[in-house]
Amino acid sequence: MTRLSVNINKIATLRNSRGGNNPNLIQVAKDCERFGAQGITVHPRPDERHIRYNDVFELKKTVTTEFNIEGNCQEQKFIDLVLANKPEQVTLVPDVLGQITSNHGWDTIKNQQYLKDMIAVFKNAGIRVSIFVDPVVEMVEAAATTGTDRIELYTEAYAHQYLNDKEAAIAPYIKAAEAAQKAGLGINAGHDLDLNNLKYFADNIPALAEVSIGHALITDALYYGLENTIQMYLRQLV
Protein backbone atom coordinates (compact mmCIF):
# COMPACT_ATOMS: atom_id res chain seq x y z
CA MET A 1 0.00 0.00 0.00
CA THR A 2 1.22 3.48 -0.87
CA ARG A 3 1.73 5.60 2.23
CA LEU A 4 -0.11 8.89 2.76
CA SER A 5 1.84 11.82 4.17
CA VAL A 6 -0.33 14.83 5.02
CA ASN A 7 1.17 18.23 4.29
CA ILE A 8 -0.05 20.58 7.04
CA ASN A 9 1.18 23.87 5.53
CA LYS A 10 -2.39 25.07 4.96
CA ILE A 11 -3.23 24.58 8.63
CA ALA A 12 -0.32 26.88 9.47
CA THR A 13 -1.54 29.40 6.88
CA LEU A 14 -4.95 29.53 8.57
CA ARG A 15 -3.36 29.90 12.00
CA ASN A 16 -1.07 32.69 10.85
CA SER A 17 -3.93 34.64 9.27
CA ARG A 18 -5.24 35.59 12.73
CA GLY A 19 -2.20 35.19 14.95
CA GLY A 20 -2.38 33.12 18.08
CA ASN A 21 -2.53 29.35 17.92
CA ASN A 22 -5.90 28.50 16.44
CA PRO A 23 -5.96 26.04 14.78
CA ASN A 24 -3.31 24.33 16.84
CA LEU A 25 -0.79 22.96 14.33
CA ILE A 26 0.69 20.41 16.71
CA GLN A 27 -2.72 19.03 17.63
CA VAL A 28 -3.70 18.78 13.96
CA ALA A 29 -0.52 16.78 13.25
CA LYS A 30 -1.38 14.43 16.13
CA ASP A 31 -4.94 14.09 14.85
CA CYS A 32 -3.80 13.33 11.29
CA GLU A 33 -1.70 10.49 12.64
CA ARG A 34 -4.54 9.28 14.87
CA PHE A 35 -6.89 9.30 11.87
CA GLY A 36 -4.54 7.07 9.87
CA ALA A 37 -1.98 9.24 8.09
CA GLN A 38 1.37 7.48 7.84
CA GLY A 39 3.42 10.66 7.69
CA ILE A 40 3.46 14.40 8.25
CA THR A 41 5.00 16.76 5.69
CA VAL A 42 5.97 20.42 6.12
CA HIS A 43 7.52 22.83 3.65
CA PRO A 44 8.97 25.83 5.50
CA ARG A 45 9.84 28.88 3.41
CA PRO A 46 12.08 31.85 4.28
CA ASP A 47 9.16 34.25 4.81
CA GLU A 48 7.48 31.77 7.20
CA ARG A 49 4.11 32.55 5.63
CA HIS A 50 2.83 29.15 6.71
CA ILE A 51 5.17 26.74 8.53
CA ARG A 52 7.49 28.61 10.88
CA TYR A 53 10.95 27.32 11.64
CA ASN A 54 10.10 26.86 15.31
CA ASP A 55 7.09 24.74 14.25
CA VAL A 56 9.51 22.19 12.87
CA PHE A 57 11.25 21.80 16.23
CA GLU A 58 7.90 21.34 17.99
CA LEU A 59 6.67 18.86 15.39
CA LYS A 60 9.86 16.84 15.70
CA LYS A 61 9.00 16.29 19.37
CA THR A 62 5.47 15.21 18.47
CA VAL A 63 5.33 13.31 15.19
CA THR A 64 5.42 9.55 15.69
CA THR A 65 5.01 8.54 12.04
CA GLU A 66 7.37 9.56 9.22
CA PHE A 67 8.39 13.22 9.39
CA ASN A 68 9.17 14.71 5.97
CA ILE A 69 10.64 18.20 5.61
CA GLU A 70 10.50 19.68 2.13
CA GLY A 71 12.36 22.76 1.01
CA ASN A 72 15.06 24.54 -0.87
CA CYS A 73 18.51 23.29 0.05
CA GLN A 74 20.03 26.41 -1.54
CA GLU A 75 19.04 28.20 1.69
CA GLN A 76 21.52 27.64 4.51
CA LYS A 77 18.79 28.16 7.09
CA PHE A 78 16.87 25.23 5.62
CA ILE A 79 19.94 23.00 5.70
CA ASP A 80 20.58 23.91 9.33
CA LEU A 81 16.92 23.30 10.21
CA VAL A 82 16.91 19.81 8.70
CA LEU A 83 20.21 18.80 10.29
CA ALA A 84 19.05 20.05 13.68
CA ASN A 85 15.83 18.00 13.53
CA LYS A 86 16.92 14.91 11.56
CA PRO A 87 13.56 13.90 10.09
CA GLU A 88 13.09 10.50 8.54
CA GLN A 89 13.08 12.15 5.12
CA VAL A 90 14.11 15.42 3.52
CA THR A 91 12.69 16.31 0.12
CA LEU A 92 14.80 18.77 -1.86
CA VAL A 93 12.77 21.20 -3.98
CA PRO A 94 14.24 23.83 -6.33
CA ASP A 95 12.09 26.74 -5.14
CA VAL A 96 13.04 30.34 -5.71
CA LEU A 97 12.59 33.14 -3.20
CA GLY A 98 8.98 34.31 -3.00
CA GLN A 99 7.57 31.40 -4.99
CA ILE A 100 3.91 30.76 -4.15
CA THR A 101 4.19 27.02 -4.57
CA SER A 102 6.60 24.54 -6.12
CA ASN A 103 6.23 24.48 -9.91
CA HIS A 104 9.10 22.46 -11.37
CA GLY A 105 11.52 19.70 -10.60
CA TRP A 106 15.30 19.77 -10.49
CA ASP A 107 17.35 19.82 -13.63
CA THR A 108 19.33 16.85 -12.40
CA ILE A 109 21.73 17.02 -15.32
CA LYS A 110 22.69 20.68 -14.91
CA ASN A 111 22.73 20.45 -11.10
CA GLN A 112 24.20 16.98 -10.82
CA GLN A 113 27.33 17.84 -8.85
CA TYR A 114 25.49 20.29 -6.60
CA LEU A 115 22.89 17.67 -5.77
CA LYS A 116 25.57 15.06 -5.09
CA ASP A 117 27.20 17.40 -2.59
CA MET A 118 23.95 18.36 -0.85
CA ILE A 119 22.54 14.86 -0.73
CA ALA A 120 25.76 13.63 0.88
CA VAL A 121 25.33 16.21 3.65
CA PHE A 122 21.91 14.86 4.60
CA LYS A 123 22.70 11.17 4.11
CA ASN A 124 25.78 11.50 6.28
CA ALA A 125 23.40 12.67 9.00
CA GLY A 126 21.30 9.52 8.57
CA ILE A 127 18.42 11.23 6.73
CA ARG A 128 16.73 9.62 3.74
CA VAL A 129 16.75 11.98 0.75
CA SER A 130 14.16 12.46 -1.98
CA ILE A 131 14.49 15.00 -4.78
CA PHE A 132 11.66 16.68 -6.69
CA VAL A 133 11.74 15.82 -10.41
CA ASP A 134 9.59 16.26 -13.49
CA PRO A 135 8.38 13.08 -15.23
CA VAL A 136 11.25 13.05 -17.71
CA VAL A 137 13.25 9.84 -18.09
CA GLU A 138 16.53 11.69 -18.59
CA MET A 139 16.01 13.64 -15.37
CA VAL A 140 15.22 10.46 -13.47
CA GLU A 141 18.29 8.71 -14.83
CA ALA A 142 20.51 11.64 -13.87
CA ALA A 143 18.89 11.73 -10.43
CA ALA A 144 20.09 8.17 -9.93
CA THR A 145 23.70 9.35 -10.18
CA THR A 146 23.35 11.89 -7.35
CA GLY A 147 23.12 9.44 -4.47
CA THR A 148 19.48 10.23 -3.67
CA ASP A 149 17.37 7.47 -2.16
CA ARG A 150 14.12 8.50 -3.83
CA ILE A 151 12.59 10.86 -6.31
CA GLU A 152 9.32 12.70 -5.86
CA LEU A 153 7.44 12.96 -9.13
CA TYR A 154 5.95 16.43 -9.61
CA THR A 155 2.34 15.65 -10.51
CA GLU A 156 0.78 19.00 -11.44
CA ALA A 157 0.87 18.22 -15.18
CA TYR A 158 -0.86 14.89 -14.54
CA ALA A 159 -3.57 16.53 -12.45
CA HIS A 160 -4.25 19.25 -15.01
CA GLN A 161 -4.56 16.80 -17.91
CA TYR A 162 -6.36 14.04 -16.05
CA LEU A 163 -9.95 15.08 -16.81
CA ASN A 164 -9.25 15.54 -20.52
CA ASP A 165 -7.21 12.41 -21.18
CA LYS A 166 -6.10 10.39 -18.19
CA GLU A 167 -4.16 7.85 -20.25
CA ALA A 168 -2.10 10.58 -21.88
CA ALA A 169 -1.71 12.28 -18.51
CA ILE A 170 -0.26 9.22 -16.81
CA ALA A 171 1.95 8.03 -19.68
CA PRO A 172 5.11 10.08 -18.93
CA TYR A 173 4.83 9.23 -15.23
CA ILE A 174 4.75 5.50 -15.97
CA LYS A 175 7.91 5.83 -18.07
CA ALA A 176 9.60 7.93 -15.38
CA ALA A 177 8.62 5.44 -12.66
CA GLU A 178 9.92 2.51 -14.70
CA ALA A 179 13.22 4.34 -15.16
CA ALA A 180 13.37 4.98 -11.41
CA GLN A 181 12.73 1.33 -10.65
CA LYS A 182 15.42 0.27 -13.08
CA ALA A 183 17.87 2.66 -11.40
CA GLY A 184 16.98 1.40 -7.92
CA LEU A 185 15.27 4.59 -6.76
CA GLY A 186 12.27 4.76 -4.48
CA ILE A 187 9.27 6.66 -5.85
CA ASN A 188 7.23 9.36 -4.11
CA ALA A 189 4.75 11.74 -5.74
CA GLY A 190 2.99 14.97 -4.95
CA HIS A 191 1.31 18.19 -6.09
CA ASP A 192 -2.38 18.58 -7.01
CA LEU A 193 -3.24 14.95 -6.32
CA ASP A 194 -6.82 14.72 -5.03
CA LEU A 195 -9.78 12.39 -4.54
CA ASN A 196 -10.58 12.49 -8.26
CA ASN A 197 -7.18 11.58 -9.70
CA LEU A 198 -5.27 9.82 -6.91
CA LYS A 199 -6.51 6.25 -7.34
CA TYR A 200 -5.77 6.13 -11.06
CA PHE A 201 -2.30 7.47 -10.43
CA ALA A 202 -1.55 5.02 -7.63
CA ASP A 203 -2.94 2.08 -9.61
CA ASN A 204 -0.73 2.82 -12.61
CA ILE A 205 2.59 3.88 -11.08
CA PRO A 206 4.68 0.83 -10.17
CA ALA A 207 6.22 0.72 -6.70
CA LEU A 208 4.76 4.05 -5.57
CA ALA A 209 6.01 4.34 -1.99
CA GLU A 210 4.43 7.56 -0.79
CA VAL A 211 2.24 10.49 -1.77
CA SER A 212 2.37 13.86 -0.04
CA ILE A 213 -0.95 15.73 -0.16
CA GLY A 214 -1.85 19.00 1.49
CA HIS A 215 -3.95 21.61 -0.29
CA ALA A 216 -6.60 19.28 -1.73
CA LEU A 217 -6.87 17.18 1.42
CA ILE A 218 -7.29 20.19 3.73
CA THR A 219 -9.83 21.69 1.32
CA ASP A 220 -11.83 18.47 1.30
CA ALA A 221 -11.70 18.39 5.09
CA LEU A 222 -13.77 21.60 5.15
CA TYR A 223 -16.63 19.60 3.65
CA TYR A 224 -16.08 16.07 4.93
CA GLY A 225 -14.20 16.58 8.19
CA LEU A 226 -10.52 15.80 8.73
CA GLU A 227 -10.90 12.24 10.03
CA ASN A 228 -13.27 11.19 7.26
CA THR A 229 -11.17 12.90 4.58
CA ILE A 230 -7.97 11.11 5.60
CA GLN A 231 -9.82 7.81 5.45
CA MET A 232 -11.19 8.72 2.00
CA TYR A 233 -7.67 9.37 0.72
CA LEU A 234 -6.32 6.18 2.27
CA ARG A 235 -9.00 4.19 0.46
CA GLN A 236 -7.70 5.54 -2.86
CA LEU A 237 -4.32 4.00 -2.11
CA VAL A 238 -5.39 0.46 -1.30
Q: Based on the residue annotation, tell me whether 43 is a catalytic residue of this protein.
A: yes
Of the listed 33, 50, 152, 191, which one is catalytic? Answer: 191
The Cα 177–Cα 113 span in angstroms is 23
The answer to whether residue 102 scores a pLDDT higher than 70 is no
Against a cut of 0.85, is the pTM above it? yes
The Cα 12–Cα 15 span in angstroms is 5
Could you tell me which residues come within 8 angstroms of residue 46 by beta carbon, excluding any fewer than 6 positions away?
A: 75, 77, 97
Residues forming beta bridges with residue 115, ordered by sequence position: none
What domains does the chain contain, in order, with CATH numbers? 3-236 (3.20.20.70)
* 215-229 confidence digits (pLDDT tens): 999 999 999 999 999
Q: Based on the residue annotation, tell me whether 70 is a catalytic residue of this protein.
A: yes
Q: With cut-offs at 50, 70 and 90, classify the pLDDT of residue 97.
A: low
Q: Based on the residue annotation, tell me whether 160 is a catalytic residue of this protein.
A: no
What is the average pLDDT across 91-100?
A: 74
Q: With cut-offs at 50, 70 and 90, classify the pLDDT of residue 95.
A: confident
Of the listed 33, 66, 70, 152, which one is catalytic? Answer: 70
Residue 126 belongs to what H/E stretch? none
The answer to whether residue 101 scores a pLDDT higher than 60 is no
Residues forming beta bridges with residue 92, ordered by sequence position: 71, 131
Number of neighbouring beta carbons within 10 Å of residue 151: 32
Of the listed 43, 66, 152, 210, which one is catalytic? Answer: 43
Contact 128, 150 (CB under 8 A): yes
Closest C-alpha to 39, from 68, 69, 60, 61:
68
Q: With cut-offs at 50, 70 and 90, classify the pLDDT of residue 211.
A: very high
* Cis geometry, peptide bond prior to residue 23 (ω within 30 degrees of 0): yes
